[in-house]
Homo-oligomer: A and B are copies of this chain.
């Protein structure tokens, strides 16, 4: 028997989906903001990265992953992958009975809020930037802003290799970010969950006048609001458990993921996708 719960408390978990380990930066923020929530995470590590894949392929893979999370009886789904949010969120919102929160809307809102002069930069994978969803969201949320959006494809392998400081990441960041400095952006949104690992290098290259915005925090706050609105928060005394599922090697996920989660990953299951 579990502990007694109040009438508005839920024993169900939050489901978090990502193409790989990057979504663990969102889990980290969720565990910070919502420490009592149980979380089931699915990383489609066998088929990552999604960033360069076509919308059709991303939707197909996302559907398959989400159905695995639904089997676990989740009460809310967080799509912690920017590419999947960009391509598959409207489809999921139509098809699913549980609420779905992507990283797009919270991230775009935070980027707009941190821009004082209305020059907003957005960096992400090729797929995310080409989809135009961040540009569209910002055009809606900050209609007078000037938005510059560019892909930074090398940032993902750098983050995954843990090569996040030193002259090589710095030169690559200089290469990608020069255009943003020249354009005078005052708020730069990291529209890829891998990029927060490079936040020190990115911030140094952009200089002190630019706010670098990580969408993970904004997403976690949006999830907290949704749980309150739906009256489905976990009991405050619950010790928020984290279960991870992956479609490729659990060991490598636990090893790489540690830097993304900010704590050791103890329980990883393999799922056949």
Contact = CB atoms under 8 A, between A and B. Distances in A.
A172 to B, nearest CB: 6
A248 interface: yes
Interface string A160-188: 11010001100110010000000000000
Interface stretch (A50-58, A93-101, A203-211): A50-58
A240 interface: no
Contact of A167 (B46, B54, B163, B171): B171
A252 interface: yes
Contacts of A172: 168
Contacts of A157: 153-154, 156-157
A85 interface: no
A252 B127 CA distance: 11
26 contacts: A46-B47, A46-B53, A46-B57, A47-B47, A52-B248, A52-B252, A53-B249, A54-B248, A54-B249, A54-B252, A57-B247, A57-B248, A57-B249, A153-B157, A153-B160, A153-B161, A154-B154, A154-B157, A154-B161, A154-B163, A156-B157, A157-B157, A167-B171, A168-B168, A168-B175, A171-B171
